[in-house]
Amino acid sequence: MTIDEIKNLRETEDKVEFKQAAAQYNYDNGRKSVLGYVVALANEKGGKLILGVTENPNPPHIISGSLAFNGREGQLEQNIYRDLQIRVRTEVLYEGTNRVLVIHIGPRPIGKYLTFQDVPLMRVGEDLHPMSQDQIRAILLEQESDFSATICETLRIEDLDTNAITILKEKYSDKQNNKAFLAQSTEQVLSDLELLHDGKLTYAALILLGKREAIRKYLPQCSINLEYRSNPDSIEYDKRDLFTNPYFILIDELWKIIDARNKKKHIQIGSYIIDIPELNDEVIRESINNAVAHRDYSKTSEIIIKHSPSLFSVSSHGGFPLGVDINNILTVNSTPRNRLLADILTKTGLVERSGQGVDKIFYQTLSEGKDTPSYKDSDLFQVTVKIPVVVKYPVFALFIRNIQKDLSPDERLGVNHLITLVRIRENEKLNGRDKELIPRLVEVGAINEPKEGVIFSSRYTELVEELEGSDTNKIVEFVKKNAPVKMREILALFSHRLTRRQVNNMVFKLVEEKVLVSSGNGSATTYSLSE
């Protein structure tokens, strides 16, 4: 942007707001602030807040200069994102010594309005007002067009990869149990799957089947960037691989690179032996498939995968699909942003049915004794899933496996049961849904429900003691490291699997045996190791 362009902008037509702001400008105090105008302009599908320009109704405008946020432009961008989860870009221009600060604001997501101080704002003349109910309703009724079903006008069948087409046929034939599909011509296959309309190919055909040269020519942002860091906190990556192949070929090539760094956790408790991979094939593929099906291909940004010894994450542009947010991602069946593409992935068996992919990510990760996957770094414009790699709770993994193997496929615990068990393990407060699942968890022998609260069954404690040693030894080691300790501190070690009475009995027995010594009375009693 140039100074001359700024002088000739019109506030309404060009979606721009001018402010003189000679010394400073209000950041967040009330509606007429930086944050208020960022929200209002984003609700107008993007615009610019320009500081350092005289507020004349008509161009040409006079450049007056502003010192607002001088030298703190980068911090301003960070603060706006922190407070609104909206990414803006700042630009500084000069006319002589007069400084102009331009804040470039992108559009709101389709079907979603933005708020400041819980109010959806819009510009009305020089003021900011709440949106009308009609405007809010119109936004909520917006529908995203299916980019993947859009015709790529210049794409030809010869631009498609024959190996990718063969893989498509084979996977569709296997998934649909339709061997005759293999004998169909390429044109018929593409037409049957709605990748070809009236002799013209869609972007879904390009993404799934296009040769590398065609993808780079017609949709260069359609690539996946894999970064590996031996230190997850490092800014620089150790290795970076860029994949720009037809997706039916790319996904296997990508997994081979990822799997080459895969390790297994060997767990043996008596006759029980299991090996748990740090990177579960189904989980990793599903997280990448979701990014491919849901990303916004209009944004010139790649899918970014970050891999380290402790974490695997996938980030893609485009916020959550309509109706989905971080709180309901496991309970709402989403509509893919690229419906045709997602439909092909489903029909060929590359992804689960709509709404089940995230369930699989959570179920497999938790059942393998890893921490809970997280979407907390997602915002309105980008989705990031972080998948833990480290097998942190090997006993839990074996416990779940032993319970599930005794049940028929239809009776096995689901992802919500596992989430409830994780909350019990972490001594978190149970919500209403958790409490509804308690009877089933008791029925399969996963938990007990004594008067003191919910705890894991004795099956879990037996596995813990076999793998980690006796509970009395744990108490002794804990007291040795932390003495003097109170009973409530010892109770906290076992709150998810032993009753208060069981822990009290172990402590009292250790005192009787003179392994521990107690001091004080009542709730003030502390325990230390005997001399």
- Taking the domains of the chain in order of start, what are their residue ranges? 3-140, 394-461, 471-529
Residue 203's pLDDT is what?
97
Taking only Cα atoms into account, the Rg of the chain, rounded to an integer number of angstroms, comes to 29
Angle (CA) 190-196-199 rounded to 5° is 120
Residue 63's pLDDT is what?
95
Closest CA to 50 of 89, 108, 86: 89
pLDDT, averaged across the chain: 92
Quick one: tokens of 509? 């027995």
Q: 382 pairs with which residues across the strands? A: 317
- The average pLDDT across 104-133 equals 91
DSSP state at residue 373: P
CA distance from start to end of the chain: 78
85, with CB counted inside 10 A (0-12, 13-18, 19+), is: middle
d(CA 317, CA 195): 24
Q: 316 pairs with which residues across the strands? A: 383
Work out the pLDDT band at 74, boundaries 50, 70, 90. Answer: very high
The model's pTM is 0.81
Residue 453's pLDDT is what?
81
Residue 72's pLDDT is what?
95
Residue 110's pLDDT is what?
84
The 10s digit of each residue's pLDDT in 449-485 is: 877 789 999 999 988 988 888 999 999 999 999 999 9
Angle (CA) 197-202-205 rounded to 5° is 115
Given a cut of 90, is residue 376 above it in pLDDT?
yes
Quick one: tokens of 507? 């402590």
Given a cut of 60, is residue 167 above it in pLDDT?
yes
Residue 529's pLDDT is what?
94
Work out the pLDDT band at 142, boundaries 50, 70, 90. Answer: confident
- The average pLDDT across 337-342 equals 92
- Taking each helix axis from N to C terminus, what angle separates 394-405 and 415-425, rounded to the nearest 10 degrees? 140
Residue 353's pLDDT is what?
58
Q: What CATH class does 471-529 carry? A: mainly alpha
Work out the pLDDT band at 352, boundaries 50, 70, 90. Answer: low
How many CB atoms within 10 Å of residue 201?
A: 24
Given a cut of 80, is residue 354 above it in pLDDT?
no
Question: Cis omega (within 30 of 0) on the bond before 321?
Answer: no
- The average pLDDT across 92-101 equals 96
Assign domain 3-140 to its CATH architecture. 2-Layer Sandwich (3.30)
